[in-house]
Amino acid sequence: MVTTLGICAPGAMGSAIGACAVATGHRVVWASQGRSRDTVARAEEDGLTDVGDLGALLETSDVVLSVCPPHAAVDVAAEIAAHGYAGTVIDANAISPATMGRVQRTLASGGATVVDASIVGPPPRGEDRTRLFLAGAGAERFAALFADAPLHIVDLHAAPPAASALKMAYAAWSKGSAGLLFAVRAYASHAGVEDALLDEWERSQPDLAERSDRQAADAGPKAWRWVAEMEEIAATLDDASLPDGFHHAAAEVFHRLRGHRGGPPPAIEDVVADLLDPPTDD
């Protein structure tokens, strides 16, 4: 049976996940209202069907997937609930367990069944490196949409917010450590010892220089999204009575790199320059 999957806010990740469902024979719809030309072009290339607006998307969809910047997750849930959507919503946003609780309550108020989800890995484009973790009733049905697709579904067999908690723990290191590494490079440059630091890294920790170069290129265009994600992680740690300052600082690092949104991947030298002389425009 063909299932219609609705994708809310299909950026690079959401559109690629939609393409996986299209490739397995399902219909995927999205709403172009208020979206950029780049998003429209990407959705068309991935075989997503434009239904115009959110109301039409919800009327058409058996299952809805929300993949948006973390700061927008609650607002998107509220919009879905306001339409009285009573189907299944998969919330795959990088949010704290507490925020996931708000999303769940909001969606349930409109009649929806909610599955907590989180994504680890790049947009799934032909390589089986991306995992989608699911927690909650209805996970099995969603997993069936992606049989033989380059998106590995992991059912945690747990209640929400298990998937969100896993995402917070994973990104606390993978992205938080990138922020720390950028700050270290910037300080070494400021102090005039960057070359000496790189020489020492080559001797004692040879992966760090290459890692900082690689992470600068990866993080720069996405840094604007990672600000809220770091704040969500900080809140998660605080809720567990753990120190949260690491990730508040990482949020500031990524805030200073926000100017690379939509641009080419920056070099580590560009990242260092932005940290030492951050953009003033918001």
pLDDT band of residue 149 (cuts 50, 70, 90) is confident
Using a pLDDT cut of 70, give the percent of the chain over it: 98
Predicted local confidence at residue 8, as pLDDT: 94
Report which secondary-structure segment, H or E, holds 225: helix 223-239
The pLDDT mean for the chain works out to 94
| CA dist., res. 177 & res. 219, Å (int) | 12
Query: What is the architecture, at CATH level 2, of domain 4-158?
Result: 3-Layer(aba) Sandwich (3.40)
H helix intervals, 36-127? 37-45, 54-60, 73-82, 97-109
Q: Give the residue-averaged pLDDT of 32-60.
A: 96
Q: Give the residue-averaged pLDDT of 51-80.
A: 97
Q: Is the peptide bond before 206 cis (omega within 30 degrees of 0)?
A: no
Predicted local confidence at residue 147, as pLDDT: 77
| CA dist., res. 128 & res. 121, Å (int) | 9
**Cα dist from 281 to 182, 226, 230, 259, whole Å:** 21, 18, 21, 9
| CA dist., res. 175 & res. 196, Å (int) | 25
pTM for this entry: 0.94
Per-residue pLDDT tens digits for 101-131: 999 999 999 999 999 999 999 999 877 689 9
pLDDT band of residue 59 (cuts 50, 70, 90) is very high
Predicted local confidence at residue 197, as pLDDT: 98
Predicted local confidence at residue 145, as pLDDT: 80
pLDDT band of residue 140 (cuts 50, 70, 90) is confident
Strand pairing category for 130-135 and 113-120:
antiparallel
Per-residue pLDDT tens digits for 195-216: 999 999 999 999 999 999 999 9
Total residue length of the chain: 282
Predicted local confidence at residue 144, as pLDDT: 78
The structure tokens 């265009």 sit at 221
Using a pLDDT cut of 90, give the percent of the chain over it: 88
Per-residue pLDDT tens digits for 244-274: 999 999 999 999 999 999 899 999 999 999 9
In the DSSP assignment, the letter for residue 6 is E
| CA dist., res. 9 & res. 32, Å (int) | 9
For 74-111, letters b (16+ CB in 10 Å) and e give bebbebbbeeebebbbbbbbbbbbebbeebbebbeebe
Query: What is the architecture, at CATH level 2, of domain 175-276?
Result: Orthogonal Bundle (1.10)
Contacts of 269 (CB under 8 A, 6+ apart): none
Q: Give the residue-averaged pLDDT of 176-184.
A: 98
Contacts of 218 (CB under 8 A, 6+ apart): 178, 265
In the DSSP assignment, the letter for residue 70 is G
Predicted local confidence at residue 262, as pLDDT: 87
CA atoms within 13 A on the CB side of 222: 19
pLDDT band of residue 2 (cuts 50, 70, 90) is low
Please report, for the chain, the start and end positions of each structural domain, with discontinuous segments joined by +: 4-158, 175-276
Cα separation of the two ends of the chain? 48
pLDDT band of residue 141 (cuts 50, 70, 90) is confident
pLDDT band of residue 73 (cuts 50, 70, 90) is very high
